[in-house]
Amino acid sequence: MNPRLPIALATALPRWSVAVLLMSAPLVGHADTQCSELLNRPFSDTTLTRTEEVAAGAFIAPAEWRDMLKPWLSGLPAFCRVVGVIRPTTDSQIEFELWLPQTWNRRYLQVGNMGFAGGIAYTGLIQGLQNGFAVASTNDGHFGPETGWMQGHPQSLIDFGYRAVHFTSVVARQITGSYYGGSIPYSYFSGCSEGGREGLVEAQRYPEDFSGWLVGSPSNDWVRLMVFQLSKVQLASALKEPLTAAQLDNLTTATIESCDAADGVEDGVIEQPLRCTFDPQKLQCKGAPDGRCLSPQQVQLVRRIYAPVKSASGATLLPGLQGTRGVEASSWEFPRITGANTASPVTLYDQAVLGFWPKWVYGKDEFNYKNQDLADARAKGEARDGSLLDATRSDLSMIRASGKKIIQYHGWADSAVPAQHSIVYYETVEKTLGRPNGDFYRLFLAPSMMHCWAGPGPNIFGAAYAPGGLFDREHHALAALTEWVEKGLAPDRIVATKYQNDDPTKAAIRTRPLCPYPQIARWSGTGSTEDARNFVCSASQ
């Protein structure tokens, strides 16, 4: 979860051209009215502040996004851009954008946000528009990555928690129907991180809003996740011997050498990291430090990073980062949990911890995070904000009964939201409903993929906010979702691709199927191990 969305995306996403996206859905809808006429039409609790016809390739992004989006915009088709604000209460200001393509695939798509929201997700709008969707995004009721906006504004916290996404879906679909002069056959939601939480919030609270949900790396167990990130900030702040890049590289290499071959293929990717039992003590210095071995304190640090988070009394509170085994060098440096300067909010975890706990829970600017008891933080956080922010309701029977579908994905190398969060929720739903989820809800875990995208493993498969790759049910998760909802074709695998520099305009290095949990990808024994066609999805052993 990165509260500074534009900065995070600018540094994490490759700048490929979205022109490589291919549209396979039938494009049969066309505008029934002029874009400018929408300004004169009433919509629920809504003021439209701007409508404009945007010619193909002519969109000018807001200043803070301009440099990042410039390489992508030349491939945009013509569309009607609608900007508005929704005010369900006098203390609400839910801003949104809706892009309506001249040639429409008769589907509505809403894209989620990241971190603490506070902006429009333009990469998601681009991804949707290029594939023919009418597509909308909301700022969740505030602008900017800071967290002080909720102080003295309880309605704004409700907007962020669940209301902004719901009201945007209601209003944006009204505008879409008015523009095209008819009903919307199918509506979809796609989001990762905070957007993944928003997707599950919608499925749990407002199952009537969408036909299907694409949910990535969801921060749905919000308060417990904030406890997890608080624990890592405490760990880093107490560290006297930060792990160096050379030590992290050595740890990664040793872990892969120990556990990589367990799936039958030695390819630098650990398919089942939770089964890897490599002990970092094997890297402890035997004599004088050589720059790569670990001190005893560093060995204990690595063990604590892998291990579940425990309270002062020893009770298990949260999963650890065992899922990142084999990608420590890249995954752990993302939030800088191995020796960051936590004196100011400069790291991924710092931004969350120093924004959430003092302002949202304890109601004060001063917050001694170094000595904060984790169990107390969890109890107070859940009491104050859990009902608004957590999306952990496990009764999804209405989704199943109505024929709607959910595809969820999570990268094993995710150090922002551990992949076990998705597994726990998925299995809790099965337990609540009393039978396997596979007829309406499937979870796909991506080995060596980081938070929402990127990482050493294959990671291009139609994930939210990451334009690129083929738009078909085999290679694109959103396309797979539409085929499942509209044609009943359940996704038995989704092929992820590793491109050179994670850029789909460059050569593909490796393809690998992502399998419905708890299945894993296994090599058939013949053919190249870099080709997904030579792998099968089978039960984990």
Residue type, 510: R
What DSSP state is assigned to residue 416? S
Residue type, 93: Q
- Chain-centre distance for alpha carbon 252: 24
Per the listing, tokens 């630098």 go with: 268
What DSSP state is assigned to residue 187? E
DSSP H or E segment with residue 191: strand 186-192
Euclidean distance between CA atoms 381 and 374, whole angstroms: 10
Q: Answer for the pair 76, 56: CB distance below 8 angstroms, yes or no.
A: yes
Residue 526 CB-density burial (10 A; 0-12 exposed, 13-18 middle, 19+ buried): exposed
Q: Mind telling me the catalytic residues?
A: 193, 414, 451
Q: Answer for the pair 295, 286: CB distance below 8 angstroms, yes or no.
A: no
Cis, peptide link before residue 518, omega less than 30° from 0: yes
Euclidean distance between CA atoms 141 and 118, whole angstroms: 7
The strand pairing partners of 460, in sequence order, are 497
- Which among 430, 521, 444, 447 is positioned nearest to 481, based on CA atoms? 444
- Which among 92, 123, 95 is positioned nearest to 193, based on CA atoms? 123
Q: Answer for the pair 426, 250: CB distance below 8 angstroms, yes or no.
A: no
Q: Residue 307: what are its φ and ψ, rounded to 5°?
A: -75, 160
Q: Answer for the pair 394, 437: CB distance below 8 angstroms, yes or no.
A: no
DSSP H or E segment with residue 225: helix 222-237
Helix, strand, or coil here: 307? coil
- Which among 362, 396, 393 is positioned nearest to 376, based on CA atoms? 362
Q: Which long-range contacts (CB under 8 A, 24 or more apart) does 119-122 make?
A: 119/5, 119/6, 119/143, 119/144, 119/145, 120/62, 120/95, 120/96, 121/5, 121/195, 121/465, 122/61, 122/62, 122/65, 122/69
Residue type, 116: F
